[in-house]
């Protein structure tokens, strides 16, 4: 699975693949990511977990396990000093929002949020891959 995530990162970083999605779609996606980041700041595991896709929820099982994983493996996302939303990439019906984080240690990392449209039309976060400044999966 990690190999697929790294392959996805490489494909998304290649020039010419970025396509601008319409602003209402992007606004909806940014709202979900922002709300999850706010939930992380409050250590509100149930709220943060609610923004994850059903597949991610099934993988972790409980909000507390999910929050623990984020706190341990995604420090720049869990406790960012700064957040900058970059472009939304759409390719073959898949949507990936790029977000630049400055972590608690002051280092910058690029997060690639894979988004999943739900049957009711809402968006959920279907995965997040961190890429360091050299373009390698973090």
CA-CA-CA-CA torsion sign (79, 85, 89, 95): positive
pLDDT in tens, 67-89: 999 999 999 999 999 999 999 99
CA distances from 22 to 25, 77, 88, 97, 116 (A): 6, 25, 9, 13, 16
Domain ranges of the chain: 2-9+17-131
Has residue 8 got a pLDDT over 70? no
CA dihedral 120, 123, 126, 128 (to 10 degrees): 180
Which CATH number among 3.30.470.10, 3.30.70.600, 3.40.50.300, 3.10.450.50 corresponds to the domain 2-9+17-131?
3.10.450.50
pLDDT score for 15: 43
Strand 94-102 and strand 108-117: the pairing is antiparallel
Taking 80 as the threshold, does the pLDDT of residue 53 lie above it? Answer: yes
Q: Percent of the chain, pLDDT > 70?
A: 80
């Amino acid at each position: 699975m990690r190999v697929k995530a790294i392959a996805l990162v490489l494909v998304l970083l290649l020039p010419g693949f970025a396509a601008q999605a319409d602003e209402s779609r992007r606004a909806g996606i940014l709202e979900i990511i922002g709300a999850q980041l706010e939930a992380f700041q409050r250590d509100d595991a149930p709220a943060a977990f609610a923004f994850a896709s059903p597949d991610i929820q099934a993988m972790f099982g409980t909000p507390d396990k999910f929050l623990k994983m984020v706190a341990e493996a995604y420090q720049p996302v869990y406790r960012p000093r700064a957040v900058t939303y970059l472009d939304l990439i759409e390719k073959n019906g898949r949507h990936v929002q790029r977000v630049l984080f400055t972590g608690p240690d002051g280092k910058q990392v690029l997060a690639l949020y894979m988004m999943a449209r739900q049957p009711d039309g809402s968006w959920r976060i279907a995965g997040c891959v961190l890429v360091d400044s050299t373009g390698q999966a973090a």
